[in-house]
Chain A
Amino acid sequence: MSGLAIENISMRFDLPDGNSVQALKDVSLHLKEGELMSVLGPSGCGKTTLLNIVAGFLAPTEGQIVMNGHTVQGPDAERGMVFQQGALFEWMSVRQNVGFGPRMKGMPKHDMAETVDHLLNVVGLQDFKDKAVYELSGGMQQRVALARCLANDPDVILMDEPLGALDALTREKMQSLVLKLWKETGKTIILITHSVEEALLLGERLLVMAPRPGRIHKEYRLPFADMGVGQDLREVKKHPDYAPTREEILAMIWDMEEEIMGRTEVAGA
């Protein structure tokens, strides 16, 4: 079976004070190769936990992740990861950062330089390859992170709020870049975000998760990601289905947030 299967994942762990937390309960889904899925949900719904389990950084208490027919046991180069911020190696130049994966694999220097140059062209950083990463702006740093992930040619790319720390304008540009990379490379992508707009624009499939315990609340299949490839994303937002879907999802998340707040008040009383 190709693709990525998340099978009945549950996650429960003890806190130091003796209570235990059910972070995820019975989460199952299947991603076909080349699918782009965005994950949305209020804070505490376990979306980052789910991503860490898929990446192999956490072991679920129940269930398993099956990737290309084998069970995930730990982190691996087949599942690349892009973090929100600060995951670049600041002791390396842009070029060294992007070439990190190939270098670890022992790729010949010449091939490596070719891959790195190609990817820096793709993300538009060809003029910055010898800069130190801390000399770049936040948006450029995330471009480096994307290129570094792609240089390793993973099957799945896991993105944990990769654009969360960027300003609105940079963010829009980066959203287009993510769509472009998705179409050009045909990678399977899971993207976690806090922004409903981003989830709509970048999600071929959109997963809304609910908290306490973390579970899948609703799934959408959306046309916007396909429409957005190579097009101005502002045009996509003018699509008649866009605004109603956004309102629906916003209302859903508002309800969940309110439920949490209400519960907290009751617990406090």
Chain B
Amino acid sequence: MIPLLIYIAIFVASYYVVTKVVHHAARNDYTSLKTVTFGDESAVRPNRVASVVSILSLFLLWGMFTGSALLPRVLHMPGPYQGLATFEYTAETPDGQRDTATVNVLVHPVDQDVEPPEVEPGEGWAKNDSATIGVWRSGLIRVDRNDEVGRAEGAKVIMVNGEPIQPGGEVQTEFGRVGMSPKGTLNFEPAKGWQMEPIWLPPPEAVARRVVEIAREGFRGSTLWEHLGFSLFRVVVGFVLGALVGIPLGYAMGLSDWFRGWFDPIVEFMRPVPPLALIPLVIIWAGIGEIGKIVLLFLAALWIMAIAARSGVSGVSISKVHAAYSLGASKRQIMRHVIVPNSLPEIFTGARVAMGVCWGTVVAAELVAAEKGAGMMIMVASKFQNTDIVIMGIILIGIIGFGIDMLMRWAERILVPWKGKG
């Protein structure tokens, strides 16, 4: 809730700062002269400052709530309490005698081994105690263990820091919460602050360190590049096979009654089936090896490419075909010089969609079962609570997916410059 509010605050504040206070860079193109921009979609251009602020504020929030070393300390959200915590408890014997003793708890980082602090036993029958508890953890403290009159003799803890407590109740101290179990044992939970524990969300620099570490040393017997490369390899092979079968199939469906009738029900049925739903069947049939993955990606790409090629053919304006015939072209020449080039823009659009779907599907398939791959990496890491590897994997998967899309767009611009110009 708090991160969301901060995010909204940054959104609103940066909007006012950027649009109202900072003066606009003088632009004098056509769009800048439009007075009606609300409702004119072509006049809405992404504000690049907003994009930069948006990304930065995500990292800022991430750093603030994880105590990142990249940020100055003032920006950190209150962290968990760490150090020596103390509280007092008051015990009462069955015959009404009360005595008070101090508990010293050393709250230490979880990955450190520490000795309990040494304390003087103190006066009276209730003795001072000491204990250690990891940051973000909690622990039972048997305060009566060293007392002269303990629980076995009928003594009960009745107050903490002077406030009454009973079984099931709790008392807030400046160092954290002291609770009492139903049986009367105290437990202490040091204040957790607002930061996320690294096991839920590691700070950005920890993720960056992991990237470097895994890029250097690999993960589970394969290098990072092998993991990513295997995923990409599967996508490319599956997509190429799907295109090699799907495009001719789509052309046949666009050019022949019989093919259209024969394959229409199959394609129309298979298209809405999400490729992920095929994973179990593919595993049963082809196992969890490369064959199974490639079959799955082949199926994911096949229908998309077939439909793209079919609509590419049906998108040929009849006057182009007529013109080509009356210029003396044969069927073969019409196919080669009119239908194929005319359908290329559609096929490229289909290929972009198919590559995106394949990339998503391969990661999902690797989550289920794989020995190598980006999905396998984050799945295994999550089983060991290696959240930094999980986040690293997600970021890398996102970057690669984005890169694939950029690459396809670039290829489209170079190879089919006539797209949308017909």
Contact = CB atoms under 8 A, between A and B. Distances in A.
A47 interface: no
A72 to B, nearest CB: 12
Contact of B341 (A76, A91, A132): A91
A225 interface: no
A87 interface: yes
A134 B328 contact: no
A128 interface: no
Given A86-B320, A91-B341, A101 B422 contact: no
Contacts of B327: 77, 80, 100-101, 104, 148-149, 152
Given A83-B319, A89-B341, A91-B342, A55 B326 contact: yes
A100 to B, nearest CB: 5
B320 A77 contact: no
B380 interface: no
B322 A86 contact: no
Interface residues of A, number: 31
A95 interface: no
B326 A80 contact: yes
Nearest to B320: A87
Interface residues of B, number: 23
Contact of B417 (A56, A80, A89, A132): A132
B324 A76 contact: no
A234 interface: no
Contacts of A215: none
Contacts, number: 79
Given A100-B337, A104-B333, A134-B418, A87 B319 contact: yes
Contacts of B344: 91
Contacts of B317: 86-87
Contacts of A89: 320, 324, 337-338, 341-342
A59 to B, nearest CB: 14
Given A57-B322, A81-B322, A89-B320, A152 B422 contact: no
A4 to B, nearest CB: 14
Contacts of B319: 83-87
B323 interface: yes
Given A74-B325, A85-B319, A104-B330, 18 more contacts: A56-B326, A57-B325, A81-B323, A83-B319, A86-B422, A88-B320, A89-B320, A89-B337, A90-B422, A91-B342, A101-B327, A104-B324, A104-B327, A104-B337, A132-B421, A134-B418, A145-B323, A158-B326
17 contacts: A56-B326, A75-B322, A77-B328, A79-B326, A83-B322, A83-B323, A86-B320, A87-B319, A87-B323, A88-B320, A89-B324, A90-B421, A91-B341, A100-B327, A104-B329, A104-B330, A148-B323
Closest CB pairs A-B (n = 3): A77-B328, A134-B421, A75-B325
